[in-house]
Chain A
Amino acid sequence: MWKYIAKRLAMVSIVIAGVTFIAFSAMYFAPGDPAEVIALARYGEDLSASQIGTLREAEGLDAPVHIQYLIWVGHLLRLDLGKSLVTSEDVLAEILQKLPATAKLAIASLLVSFLIALPAGILSALRKNSLLDRGCMFVSLVGVSIPNFWLGLLLIWLFALTLHMFPSFGYGSLKHFVLPALTLGTSLAAVTARLTRASLLEVLGQEYIVAARARGLDEHTILFRHALKNALLPVITFAGMQFGYLLGGAVIVETIFSWPGIGKLLVDSIFARDFSMIQGCVLFIAVLFSLSSLAVDILYAVLDPRIRYDRHD
């Protein structure tokens, strides 16, 4: 078990190292001169060649690329992600400041998705091929297929513009959570519901369930005490992965609802050509995602004794 964790940790470090490389080279593979890109971000469109030259020296951009990369990684190891090219604020501080808003939205969305998906998935599995099942699965197919930006605007139109129930944008009170969480939650719920259904159907077909039935247990006990426990394992894994993904900021939804989270920070930085902020966000998101999938893997190993990760144990 410990060996497994160590192995996974090593793999995660390799992934993260790869990400640093990609995030860094993005600046170089991006068309145009980085010094000019920075100058554009900082000074707007009015540029002179001498301004770009001064900036190139001041930012150390005249050094060879591999030296620049090593310097950058050195800073990273000291948790220094640099300063924003546009606002000169500390990148990590900026990201950490946005994290609570994103985390809160992630939790709320996950909650919404469970509240919809679990009942729907379980009902569909129990009433396999019934009208209810087909209805639920059709709705979830629609849910997967509707892009978030459209669903978000539809919800704004219905709940904000027509019914005046919730604000259409912003962050602050509980009411502000409803529409973005519903948008993210329903699209997640669609996948989760299908997964719950499939997993439960598989478990219900297994011999120990038949055995339980043969012992005369009622369906209620079979479902809740025996089937669900096992059926929900992959669902939890999936939810964990989704959580990692959501922590990276739901880029589109945060933008539509003006939610001051990491996703919106990333979009704003892209529009402002704030490369150090983009690098910082990408790195942060990648690290969070790797760590959350690591956590899920470990959790999985702890929860499911059938799974032997370490064959040499």
Chain B
Amino acid sequence: MNRSFKFILIICMLFAVIGASACIGEEKDRTAKGAGSVESSQELVVGISTDVSSWYLNMFAAGDARFVWSQVYETLVRLDPDLNVIPGLAESWETPDDGRTWIFHLRENVTFHDGSPFDADSVVFSYSNQSYVRQAVLKPVQSVETLDAHTVKFVLEKPMPLPFYLTHVAWPVMCPGCLDAEGNFVKPVGTGPFMFETQKKDQEIVLTRNEAYWGEKPLLDKVTFKVIPEAATRVIALETGEVDMVIKVPEYDVERLEAEEGIQVHRKLTTFTDFLQFNCDNSPFNDTRVRQSIAYAIDTETLVNEVLEGIGKPAGGRPYSPVMMYSDPDLETYTQDLDKAGALLEEAGWKDSDGDGIKEKGGTPLHVTLIVSKGVWAARHNPMAQVVQGTLREVGMDVEIQVLDEGAISKLENTGDFGMILRSGYFVWGPYPKHFFVHHSGSPYSHYHNETYDQLVNAADMTVDTQEQEELYHSLQSFVIEEVPAFYLVHEEKVVATGSSVKGYTISSEDPWLNLSGVYHGK
């Protein structure tokens, strides 16, 4: 073989590996900025995991869409970073009859992004019975009426703390101008600090500053949300400077990012709490002592420290995250006590008579299933389930972990053919009382039936007096600790990381919410 041919071949290979890449495209790439460079323009690039697939009130804004919605749309009532209820588009509100009627006094001189005025009609439009929220959550709402241009009346069929519900970012006020004359959705028009500019499906969403914003004007000119589904890529994009902010940083990346120069990691407890739900209709979990035994067996501190790299706070059975309104600071939570756990099981009739380490009762071994959902929470829940499995083995319980699709889980829930389900706390946000419904007989997710509990939940949801609410929610929390319809494991912590030039960001406890009002690029 001649030399020149060999030479050409080798050159070819080199060209393929390095040449093909290095010399391609002299074109300037806006996104590849390189770490450490300080932006002169006030554009913030945020990495999120899912695109916004719906912008309209007939659908639920799922996944990370809510971070984008919260820039464009606003709600009547808001929560501050520490979950205190503050005025939003409504300046004040009152209930003349203890929660059956709610009157909201709207902020004046607020305009939508298309220049049309924000008024009572737009509120009626946003909470019509076409809206997702009316169909799914606010079913007791009978009518929404305008009293005058800036006053709206909500009439409910039973008392409800409506302002709590109206803080949810996925149920905001939209402009009737979102629709064309035929009633088809055209584009998102809200009152928020940023206006919708463009969307490239599954790639990016560009928002620009709303110059006419009624509140504190944003310092940023532009916000670009880049859709990066893979968590590892999202974090790297922050490290290379391609994005300025990443929401939902994986637990295992936190320590590394915190050590990295120029990157700031913001952490705050959210309202979400992971929990182990029991099938209280069937054996063995129809016995309260068995459920209590599990509460004594599991060390939630180990879960946080060993599985979640110290991100989050051990719950020890506490259903309400400490950041939440009405979370009982004096609640007596569980600490691990394996002897007590074993004793409770024996008391319930479960004894290890054949010495194989698994307890039996009437010849049946103590074998239970633990269901973990596939999907976004799996990365977190799988290792947690394994730790739970190992711990419960120590007290003589044989746990089988099943990782299943949501559809399969709901099928098992219907037939009652399961022991425990590991769930995330997406059932709750803000001071919103809905979470306790999860164990209420009326909930499709409930596997616990207790009249006292149901009555407490109903009473709490129908009360508007804050003193009474506090008492009722405190008693619900003690009830959950004692009766253990579910064992609450970890209060989730939200992690947001920002690049070196990003200043003025305050992390909020509200989970799907992003406040960019004070954010800017600086040195």
Using a CB–CB cutoff of 8 Å, the interface residues on chain A facing chain B are 30-33, 36-37, 40, 42-49, 51, 86-87, 97, 112, 115-116, 118-120, 122-123, 126, 153, 156-157, 159-161, 164-178, 182, 185, 218-220, 223, 255-258, 260, 264-265, 267-268, 271-273
Contact = CB atoms under 8 A, between A and B. Distances in A.
A257 B233 contact: yes
A220 B22 contact: no
The prevalent SS among residues of A at the interface is: helix
A176 B32 CA distance: 10
B233 A168 contact: yes
B16 interface: yes
Contacts of A272: 53, 62
B33 to A, nearest CB: 9
B60 A169 contact: no
22 contacts: A31-B405, A31-B407, A31-B408, A40-B406, A45-B426, A48-B136, A112-B20, A116-B13, A166-B32, A167-B242, A168-B236, A169-B226, A170-B242, A173-B25, A173-B27, A173-B29, A258-B227, A260-B203, A268-B51, A268-B202, A272-B53, A272-B62
Interface centre among B135, B139, B229 (most CB of A within 10 A): B229
Contacts of B405: 30-32
A220 B411 contact: no
Interface of B: 1-2, 5-6, 9-10, 12-13, 15-17, 20-22, 24-25, 27, 29, 31-32, 34-35, 50-51, 53-54, 59-60, 62, 132, 135-137, 139, 200-203, 226-230, 232-233, 236-237, 239-240, 242, 375-376, 404-411, 426-427, 444
B406 A273 contact: yes
Given A31-B407, A272-B62, A168 B12 contact: no
Nearest to B406: A40
Contacts of B239: 161
The 3 closest A-B pairs by CB, nearest first: A32-B407, A115-B16, A31-B408
Contacts of B203: 170-171, 258, 260
A160 B60 contact: no
A87 B25 contact: no
Contacts, number: 175
B229 A258 contact: yes
Contacts of A255: 229-230
B29 A32 contact: no
A87 B53 contact: yes
B366 to A, nearest CB: 26
A220 B5 CA distance: 8
A164 B29 CA distance: 12
B22 to A, nearest CB: 7
B146 to A, nearest CB: 27
Nearest to A49: B444
A51 B21 contact: no
A122 B24 CA distance: 26
Contact of A167 (B27, B31, B139, B406): B31
B461 to A, nearest CB: 15
Contacts of B240: 160-161, 164, 167-168
A265 B226 CA distance: 16
A45 B139 CA distance: 15
Contacts of B136: 43-44, 46-48, 51
Contact of B10 (A30, A119, A169, A173): A119
Contacts of B135: 43, 51
Given A45-B426, A153-B232, A257-B233, A174 B31 contact: no
Contacts of B200: 260
A44 B62 contact: yes
Contact of B53 (A46, A86, A182): A86
A74 B140 CA distance: 42
A115 B24 CA distance: 15
B9 A166 contact: no
A126 B13 CA distance: 16
Contacts of A44: 60, 62, 136
B242 A268 contact: no
Given A220-B1, A258-B229, A271-B376, A170 B31 contact: yes
Contacts of A112: 16, 20
A182 B228 contact: no
A267 B229 CA distance: 10
A209 B76 CA distance: 84
Contact of B226 (A49, A159, A170, A178): A170
A221 to B, nearest CB: 11
Contact of B1 (A126, A165, A273): A126
A119 B267 CA distance: 52
A136 to B, nearest CB: 9
Interface centre among A45, A218, A257 (most CB of B within 10 A): A45
Contacts of A175: 24-25, 27, 29, 32
